[in-house]
Amino acid sequence: MNWYEYGPFTIFDVETTGMHPVRHRIVELAAVRIDCDGSLSRFQTLINPRCAIPSGVIAIHHITDEMVADAPAFHEIAPQFIDMARDSTLVAHNARFDLSFLQESLARCGQEPWKGKTLDLLRLIRRTHKGLPSYSLQNLRRIFQLDDPFENMAAHRAAADVEWELQVLEIAFNAMMREEEPPGFR
C-alpha cells in the first residue's frame, strides 16, 4: 500500500501579519492536495489583509504591502480553498498555528469553520524520527535533503513550505508503515 492511500490529504500553509489569529491576518495561503490515487492539485494565492504588514514580519516572509495591494481578500478565496480541501485531512506543520488562522479567517467572513480531520505534521515527524536536533521545517529540509521545487525559493513562503511538508509527510508515513499501521486522525 502507498502512504497516500490513507488520504486524501490537503497540506496547507499560511503566512500572516503576525502571530495572533484574532489580531493578525493571512497574507498568503498555499495548499497541495494528494488524493488516494496519488494525483496532486495545487492552490496558492497572496491575500490582501486590509492592513499594513509589519516590517519585522516582512523580514521573515518577504511579502510586502505592495505585493498584496491587488490580491483578493480572504473571503474571496475561502470557498475555493474549502472546496479543494473538502473530504480530506488537513495537514500543517505546527497545525495549531495554521488552523487557528484558518478558523478565525473563516469565522470573520461568515464561513463555516473547518470541521474535518486534521493532522499535525510536526507531532507526526517527532513521533517517527525521535531525537532530531530541531523539527523546524528548514532543519527537516536539510536533514532529509528535500527537493527544492522552486529553485531556491525563500523559506517562509507558503507555496514552497507546502511542497516540503508534502515530502516530510511521505517520509513520516513511510516510517510508520515500516513499523505499524498509521494511526487514526482526530
- Note the pLDDT tens digit of each residue in 76-88: 999 999 999 999 9
Per-residue pLDDT for 170 more than 60?
yes
Per-residue pLDDT for 68 more than 80?
yes
Give the full edge-to-edge strand order of the sheet including 40-46: 40-46, 26-34, 9-16, 89-92, 118-120
With respect to residue 184, please indicate whether it lies within any of the assigned structural domains: no
State yes or no: is 61 an active-site residue.
no
Give the pTM. Answer: 0.92
In this structure, of 44-58, 87-101, 136-150, the range with the lowest mean pLDDT score is 136-150
DSSP letters spanning 122-151: HHHHHHHSTT-S--SHHHHHHHTT---TTS
| Contact in structure between 116 and 103 (CB atoms under 8 Å) | no
What pLDDT, on the 0 to 100 scale, is given for residue 47?
98
Mean pLDDT of 1-25: 97
What pLDDT, on the 0 to 100 scale, is given for residue 155?
60
Mean of the per-residue pLDDT values of the chain: 93
Number of domains in the chain: 1
Looking up residue 160, the CATH number of its domain turns out to be 3.30.420.10
Q: Which residues face 31 on adjacent strands?
A: 12, 43
What pLDDT, on the 0 to 100 scale, is given for residue 186?
43
With respect to residue 47, please indicate whether it lies within any of the assigned structural domains: yes
What pLDDT, on the 0 to 100 scale, is given for residue 20?
97
Confidence at 145, pLDDT banded by 50, 70, 90? very high
Confidence at 171, pLDDT banded by 50, 70, 90? very high
Q: Which residues face 41 on adjacent strands?
A: 33
What pLDDT, on the 0 to 100 scale, is given for residue 156?
67
Q: Report how far residue 6's alpha carbon sits from residue 88's, in angstroms, rounded to the nearest whole number.
A: 10
29 phi and psi angles, rounded to 5 deg: -135, 130
Q: Report how far residue 37's alpha carbon sits from residue 50's, in angstroms, rounded to the nearest whole number.
A: 39
Which of 24, 61, 93, 156 is labelled catalytic?
156
Query: Which grid cell sits at 144?
Result: 532529509
Per-residue pLDDT for 35 more than 90?
yes
Residue 113 neighbours by CB under 8 Å, 6+ apart: 103, 106, 107
Element (DSSP H or E) covering residue 1: none
Per-residue pLDDT for 180 more than 70?
no
| Domain extent for 133 | 3-179
